[in-house]
Amino acid sequence: IVQAEEGMKLLQQHFSQHKRWVAHSLVLRGECRLEIARRSPDQRQAMVNAAAEDLNQAIHLHVTADGPDHPDLVGPLILLGMVKLESNTVDAKKMLADALRIAVQTCEDEDKWPPEAGIALRRYAEALEMEEDLGSAIPFAEKGLDVLEKAVGPEDALVAEALVQVGALRVRGGWPAEAQPHLQRALAICGGKLDMENQ
């Protein structure tokens, strides 16, 4: 009986590892399909639908292999949330909130949140903006910017994107003067990147 139980444990570990590999492959395929959708307008909807199917399957496999709070769920939840932004902001916000919760569950110190938390916050702000809730979107975008600055450094391209988002939200909200420093800083980051590429 002991040997049978040990054999079952090994088999379960093997199947869980297999599920993880398949899930990671599905996420990669979903990312590729999203890139094809971005570059090929004639294939866009078919590729977005196929990517959503891949990501849903990956999430299911991760949950069955490791449970509903495993860190490997963060990436696919963010990607699927981004896909859902186009059609259903309620579902998108739920997925992005789950991604954020999982990303920060082991970090008590907000200053050490991973970059994925900043990305989830930014995408959540995007969903709120699509719902015309700029008053709520701006704090989420600003928090995403803050998290990304601490996680990847103040000169990273992700920070530049977050600065543009905050600036654009402020312009759209009727506060162009408050947007200017964010947009200028984003330009400085991008300009620095362009200068380094030209050397």
Categorize the per-residue pLDDT at 196 as very low, low, confident or very high, splitting at 50, 70 and 90.
very low
Local structure of 69: helix, strand or coil: coil
Mean per-residue pLDDT for 22-36? Answer: 94
Write phi, then psi, for 87 (nearest 5 degrees). Answer: -120, -30
Q: Which amino acid is at 117?
A: A
Per-residue confidence (pLDDT) for residue 1, from 0 to 100:
67
Per-residue confidence (pLDDT) for residue 8, from 0 to 100:
65
Per-residue confidence (pLDDT) for residue 12, from 0 to 100:
67
pLDDT digits (tens, 9 = 90+) for 6-15: 766 666 666 7
Per-residue confidence (pLDDT) for residue 18, from 0 to 100:
85
pLDDT digits (tens, 9 = 90+) for 135-193: 999 999 999 999 999 999 999 999 999 999 999 999 999 999 999 999 999 999 988 55
Write phi, then psi, for 152 (nearest 5 degrees). Answer: -120, -5
* Selection from 26, 51, 28, 57 nearest residue 38 by Cα: 51
81 pLDDT exceeds 60?
Answer: yes
Per-residue confidence (pLDDT) for residue 7, from 0 to 100:
63
Q: Which amino acid is at 130?
A: M
Within a 10 A sphere around the Cβ of 60, how many other Cβ atoms?
14
Rounded CA-CA distance 176/151 in Å is: 28
Angle between helices 74-84 and 89-104 (to 10 degrees): 160
Percent residues over pLDDT 70 in the chain? 90
How many Å is the Cα radius of gyration of the chain?
Answer: 20
Question: What one-character DSSP code corresponds to residue 110?
Answer: G
Rounded CA-CA distance 77/55 in Å is: 8
Per-residue confidence (pLDDT) for residue 17, from 0 to 100:
84
Q: Is 86 or 124 the better-scoring residue by pLDDT?
A: 124
Rounded CA-CA distance 95/116 in Å is: 13
pLDDT digits (tens, 9 = 90+) for 103-134: 999 888 989 999 999 999 999 999 999 999 99
Per-residue confidence (pLDDT) for residue 194, from 0 to 100:
46
> What pTM was estimated for this model as a whole?
0.83
pLDDT digits (tens, 9 = 90+) for 17-27: 888 899 999 99
Question: What one-character DSSP code corresponds to residue 156?
Answer: S
